[in-house]
Amino acid sequence: MLSTGALRAHLLASRLAGTVATSREASLRSYRLFAARDPRVLLGLDPEWAWGEADVMALMAAKCGVSGDPGCVSGADVIDPERTLAGLEAFAGRLGEAAAQGVPVLFGTGHPHRLLGFYADLADALSAAGCLVLTPAQGRCVDITTRFGVRTYNLDYVRGVALVREPGARVPVSDTGAHSHSPLPVRVALAAAEEGGGPLPGLVVGDHGWVCGAGQLGFEAIGLADTDDPALFVGEAEGRVSVAVPLDDAVRSDYYRPLTRYVLNRACLSR
């Protein structure tokens, strides 16, 4: 069993928390765009409250531990590991409750190259506990606006975790899909589940648009978010995201394995 102290040390050593790779410039740009209601950073959320740039920065300082000083405009960003640990505790609590209640669960990620293994192990554990891991709309096309224009992606599932694949991409074992912030894939998946008369998720687990898009539609959603993803923390503050865990979401995939063990143990889902 991984202790809290050992996990804290791992968070700092792997730069999942502490000084992270996300730059202050990138985070501030996201805060400005969020305040301007730019859909690229809203991630499917339609905020109810007025969020100016200073409001977003203050929230991120409270939720993540980044600097709340508007004069701090460069360098590496910082995440307080204690806030990450608290977020993981709450995250594990919701997984444990979902397992105890046997609710259907939908997993999805916009960071498949980094986070697929993390979510897949959680999906395996919930499935073993009796939860139905949903895979609606597999193979469905999703039109997503990118900086290159509108491109058509394919919705797919790997070990129960939804992701999107590049147009025309082949599917070798090593191919894990495309990076995406869009809420459209989760909307397509949820609409397909409803249209098919099948079960709807009692919990959505993921990141980016998977969490905000589901939360905006009234589904309980929990997920991971970096310092340049204010939408998940705004959603948490407004009550549409149940848990947003602050951490760097783009480190090496194997660095998330200790988090998996910790979360499953805390959720009483270790096997």
Residue 198 has pLDDT above 80, yes or no: yes
**Closest among 131, 174, 180, 136 to 156, alpha carbons compared:** 136
Structure tokens at 111: 């960071």
Tell me the pLDDT tens digit for each residue of 217-237: 999 999 999 999 999 999 999
**Neighbour count for residue 248 (Cβ, 10 Å):** 23
Residue 173 has pLDDT above 60, yes or no: no
The one-letter amino acid code at 116 reads: L
pLDDT at 137: 97
Average pLDDT on 244-251 reads 97
pLDDT at 170: 61
**Closest among 256, 271, 270 to 88, alpha carbons compared:** 256
**Closest among 121, 108, 94, 110 to 202, alpha carbons compared:** 94
Record the pTM: 0.95
Residue 147 has pLDDT above 90, yes or no: no
Distance CA 112, CA 193 (A): 22
Tell me the pLDDT tens digit for each residue of 71-96: 999 999 999 999 999 999 999 999 99
Task: Residue count of the chain, please give it.
Answer: 271
- Percent of the chain at pLDDT > 90 equals 91
Residue 7 has pLDDT above 70, yes or no: yes
Which three-class secondary structure string do you get for the chain?
CCCHHHHHHHHHHCCCCEEEEEEHHHHHHHHHHHHCCCHHHHCCCCCCCCCCHHHHHHHHHHHHCCCCCCCCCCCEEEECHHHHHHHHHHHHHHHHHHHHHCCCEEEECCCHHHHHHHHHHHHHHHHHCCCCECCCCCCCEEEEEECCEEEEEEEEEECCEEEEECCCCCCCCCCCCCCCCCCHHHHHHHHHHHHCCCCCCCEEEEEHHHHHHHHHCCCCEEEEECCCCHHHHHHHHHCCCCEEEECCCCCCHHHHHHHHHHHHHHCCCCC
Tell me the pLDDT tens digit for each residue of 54-66: 999 999 999 999 9
Residue identified by tokens 């948490």 is: 236
How many Å separate Cα 12 from the centre of its chain?
A: 20
Residue 174 has pLDDT above 50, yes or no: no
